[in-house]
């Protein structure tokens, strides 16, 4: 189902660097504070390892690293968005999770060719709400890349 086919979309807005991004809240199972991550040898550098979340082992990806943004030390506001897509759980490390909002498909505009250095293929569009602007991520494009 495309964004245009949906009337309204509920998204969680999170921060990476100086930009705000959004992902559909339907995929988000929880938002966790940073916790111990066990490194796994031989995986791409953007996969930080795995965490044990209430008895479930979940791979954790640093979205800054995945999007080739400068890495920073994790801070008090750093969060792990735990997502579930087709039964697979994965954690995304983000600089902060801001809020949950409803957007209309009319608020979504095509993605410009360059958006903060993040590859266009990962993006579904740009959402403009008043003076606020954030990028809607295309989870289906990010996850298959994480699994290879």
Domains assigned to the chain: 3-147 (2.40.50.180)
Q: How confident is the model over 68-89, as a mean pLDDT? A: 91
Distance CA 67, CA 6 (A): 27
Region of poorest pLDDT, from 4-8, 57-61, 66-70, 138-142: 4-8
pLDDT over threshold 90, residue 97: yes
Structural tokens at position 108? 């979504």
pLDDT over threshold 90, residue 86: no
* Mean of pLDDT over the chain: 83
């Amino acid at each position: 189902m495309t964004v245009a086919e949906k009337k309204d979309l509920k998204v969680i807005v999170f921060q990476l660097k100086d930009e705000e991004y959004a992902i559909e809240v339907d995929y988000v199972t929880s938002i966790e504070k940073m916790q111990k991550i066990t490194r796994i040898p031989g995986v791409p550098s953007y996969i930080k390892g795995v965490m044990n979340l209430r008895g479930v082992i979940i791979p954790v990806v640093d979205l800054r690293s995945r999007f080739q943004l400068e890495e920073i030390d994790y801070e008090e506001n750093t969060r792990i968005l735990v997502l579930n897509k087709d039964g697979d759980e994965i954690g995304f490390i983000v600089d902060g999770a801001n809020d949950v909002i409803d957007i209309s498909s009319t608020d979504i505009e095509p993605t410009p060719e360059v958006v903060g250095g993040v590859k266009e293929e990962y993006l579904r569009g740009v959402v403009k709400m008043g003076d606020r602007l954030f990028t809607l991520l295309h989870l289906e494009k990010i996850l298959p890349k994480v699994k290879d």
